[in-house]
Amino acid sequence: MWRSSTEQDENGRPHRRPHRAPDYVIVGRVTRPHGVRGEVRVRPVDTAPERFLEFPWVYGTPKSGDGGRRQLQVRRARIDRGDVVIAFEGMDSRDAAEAWRDARIEIPGEWVKPLPPGHYYVFELVGCRVETVSGSHVGLLVDVLSTGANDVYVVKHPSGEEVLIPAIREMVKEVDVVQQRIIVDPWPGLLPEEDGSEGDDGAR
């Protein structure tokens, strides 16, 4: 059973406050300019597209240049086929928008909203120790991939290999982001063959 500490919101619905929220949280990435008036298309990351309609401003970090984080005022935003088309103040041409291709879009950590029980932000999961139901160490969770049907946990095995674990209830039995531990019941053949020696993934 998936485990998380829960509270209730003002409407009595259960929710869970995020654990270990960083100062800045990635909510999207600019994929490309949109049109010729300076708008950009943003692919949401770990965030509902509708959330972007609430942001008065965001932080943007260009992929090129000095890599510095800049505050961008949102002039208007709309949802288009799962992406978000955003017009930022001072970005009035396609050339200006092109400079932000592949840029990272972030918000302050305190803006992160509570989630329903059993749902987690990527920043809560990365760094968790993954173990099997029998107590064997699988590795550290290093990334989460969104595939559409379900998320996939990317786990660095002590052997150095990356293990892909579907984030489905049949596989993931417990998530404890406070203790930074995830318990899984892997299918036969999912994990690398053990060589009889204990690996070291760098965790202490």
> What b/e readout covers 167-197, taking b as 16+ CB neighbours within 10 angstroms?
beeeebbbbbbeebebbbebeeeebbeeeee
Fold of 24-111: Elongation Factor Tu (Ef-tu); domain 3 (2.40.30)
Q: What is the residue-averaged pLDDT of the chain?
A: 87
- Check if the beta carbon of residue 102 is closer than 8 Å to that of residue 29: yes
Tell me which of 169 and 200 has the higher pLDDT: 169
In this prediction the pTM is: 0.72
> Does 198 have pLDDT greater than 60?
no
pLDDT category of residue 1 using cuts at 50, 70 and 90: very low
CATH of 1-20+115-204 given 3.10.310.30, 2.60.40.1240, 3.30.420.40, 2.30.30.240:
2.30.30.240
Amino acid 99: pLDDT: 93
pLDDT in tens, 16-53: 888 888 999 999 999 999 999 999 999 998 889 999 99
pLDDT in tens, 51-65: 999 999 999 998 876
Q: Nearest-CA neighbor of 130 among 144, 150, 116, 118?
A: 144
pLDDT category of residue 196 using cuts at 50, 70 and 90: very low
> Does 194 have pLDDT greater than 50?
yes
Q: Cα separation of 69 and 59, whole Å?
A: 6
* Domain boundaries, given as residue ranges, for the chain: 1-20+115-204, 24-111
pLDDT in tens, 76-121: 999 999 999 999 999 999 999 999 999 999 999 999 988 888 889 9
Whole-number percent of the chain with pLDDT over 90: 71
Q: Cα separation of 101 and 94, whole Å?
A: 11
Amino acid 168: pLDDT: 94
Q: Nearest-CA neighbor of 58 among 87, 15, 99?
A: 87
